[in-house]
């Protein structure tokens, strides 16, 4: 007998028919003699709908009330899944976040799970019941309902796998695994059978929303193998696990992209020690992350240009910060928010020379200008004009033999 977490994403529970279908998968797993904890997302589109509702009431809707509102999406699914299972004669019960409880730390809208009480659920599993739990939420030490960031039901599933020490954590979604790039945008994308935590973490933090990046990070830290598979087909999914179990025949495993960056350039900044620190210090204080930074070589020894990227949603605040900063002098401030970030990811890069050159050459062949670059051991990211996104992804997918 195994203890399993089965997590169903928004599309997988997007209608009552789909909920009934998910219930059949749960029943099948239970009939095999497994103890099952089900984690569910809100029905597809529900969370966005609730956010719109809050905005139509107030532009400054309080974060506390927003969490009360958003947590209801997953609660609806819990009750419907339990109802569908009951209808099939199965013993099951939904447990709300505060009933368990799922304890969180951190601020509203962006909390993180720190612990859960296992007693009630374990007793229920031992009595032969299937526990159904809402993803994406918990309760803070002060007793307030919290949510844990968009896509957070993945993080709930991984946290449950860890805290309940389950034998597996299966992520049921609307694609049949992790692909070399988004299969809904680039149809030649290929399914990957196995991928390391490290590569998956890079892909998801660089835009592949198929897994939430903080969920992958937790899985990596605690070595919790994940399986991503389809709710709608029986095809084998993708295993995400420790890289020691993998061999790398290809330099690049996948191509990811995101459209949530903005690029800012400061022209003719005084070139002297400490200037970069003066520019970026206020960003840290204002909780704004800087991603890529490029400083041009100074031609006259007096001034230089500095380009950097931030999240697009932070652009306005970033420009304000720069304009208000009396500790720096520059001639001109320019920005561009219609940029995208294209990344190639692969653990095989470490042992394959020439990957960087090949990427840049391929983009040049497409006449795509690179606006900023950043690299790590297993990824290379570039910022380009947003209109070239699909063209760049297709080209890179092709030249790195992923089609
Ligand atoms: P769920 O609601 O099940 O959590 P998401 O919508 O969060 O599902 O994630 C699944 C989606 O991720 C897919 O429909 C697909 O369009 C997108 N996606 C982006 N990159 C990839 C990739 N590399 N492999 C698979 N899916 C991807
Ligand atoms: N319902 C939440 C969202 O849409 C959490 C999730 O689906 O994982 O972000
Ligand atoms: Mg998701």
Burial class (CB in 10 A: 0-12, 13-18, 19+), 299: exposed
Determine the Cα–Cα distance for residues 259 and 307; give it in Å rounded to an integer. 18
List domains and CATH numbers for the chain.
3-174 (3.40.1160.10), 255-399 (3.30.2130.10)
What residue ranges of the chain have pLDDT lower than 50? none
Which atom of ligand 2 is nearest the CA belonging to 154? 8
The answer to pTM > 0.85 is yes
Instruction: Report pLDDT for 245.
Output: 66
Instruction: Report pLDDT for 30.
Output: 97
Is the minimum distance from the CB of 174 to ligand 1 under 6 angstroms? yes
Cβ-proximal residues to 103 (8 Å cutoff; 6+ apart), any chain: 113, 114, 115, 116, 138, 139, 140, 141
What are the distances in angstroms from CA 165 to CA 3, 113, 172?
A: 8, 16, 19
Which atom of ligand 2 is nearest the CA belonging to 152? 8
Instruction: Report pLDDT for 66.
Output: 98
The ligand placed nearest to the CA atom of residue 137 is: 2
Give the angle subtended at the CA of 320 by the CAs of 314 and 325, to the nearest 5°: 120
The protein residue with its alpha carbon nearest to ligand 2, atom 8, reads 151
């Amino acid at each position: 007998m195994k203890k399993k977490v089965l997590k169903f994403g928004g599309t997988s529970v997007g209608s009552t028919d789909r909920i009934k279908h998910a219930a059949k998968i749960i029943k099948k797993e239970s009939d095999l003699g497994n103890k099952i904890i089900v984690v569910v997302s809100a029905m597809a589109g529900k969370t966005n709908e609730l956010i719109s509702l809050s905005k139509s009431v107030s532009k400054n809707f309080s974060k506390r009330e927003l969490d009360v509102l958003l947590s209801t999406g997953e609660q609806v699914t819990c009750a419907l899944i339990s109802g569908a299972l009951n209808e099939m004669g199965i013993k099951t019960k939904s447990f709300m976040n505060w009933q368990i409880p799922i304890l969180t730390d951190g601020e509203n809208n962006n909390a993180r799970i720190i612990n859960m009480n296992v007693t009630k659920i374990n007793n229920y599993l031992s009595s032969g019941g299937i526990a159904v739990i809402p993803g994406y939420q918990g309760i803070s030490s002060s007793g307030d309902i919290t949510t844990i960031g968009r896509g957070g039901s993945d993080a709930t599933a991984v946290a449950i796998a860890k805290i309940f020490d389950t034998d597996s954590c299966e992520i049921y979604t609307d694609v049949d695994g992790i692909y070399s790039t988004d299969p809904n945008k680039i149809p030649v994308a290929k399914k990957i059978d196995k991928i390391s935590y490290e590569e998956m973490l890079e892909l998801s933090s660089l835009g592949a929303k198929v897994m939430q990046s903080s969920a992958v990070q937790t899985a990596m830290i605690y070595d919790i193998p994940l399986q991503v598979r389809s709710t709608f087909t029986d095809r084998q999914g993708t295993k995400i696990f420790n890289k020691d179990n993998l061999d790398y025949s290809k330099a690049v495993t996948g191509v990811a992209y995101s459209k949530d960056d903005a690029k800012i350039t400061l022209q003719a900044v005084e070139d002297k020690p400490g200037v970069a620190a003066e520019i970026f210090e206020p960003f840290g204080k204002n909780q704004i992350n800087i991603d890529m930074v490029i400083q041009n070589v100074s031609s006259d020894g007096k001034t230089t240009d500095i380009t950097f990227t931030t999240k697009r949603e932070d652009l306005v605040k970033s420009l304000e910060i720069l304009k208000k900063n009396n500790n720096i002098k520059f001639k001109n401030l320019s920005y561009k928010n219609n940029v995208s970030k294209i990344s190639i990811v692969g653990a095989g890069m470490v042992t394959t020379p020439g990957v960087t050159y090949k990427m840049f050459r391929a983009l040049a062949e497409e006449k795509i200008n690179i606006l900023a670059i950043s690299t790590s051991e297993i990824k290379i990211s570039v910022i380009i004009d947003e209109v070239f996104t699909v063209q760049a992804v297709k080209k890179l997918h092709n030249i790195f033999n992923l089609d």
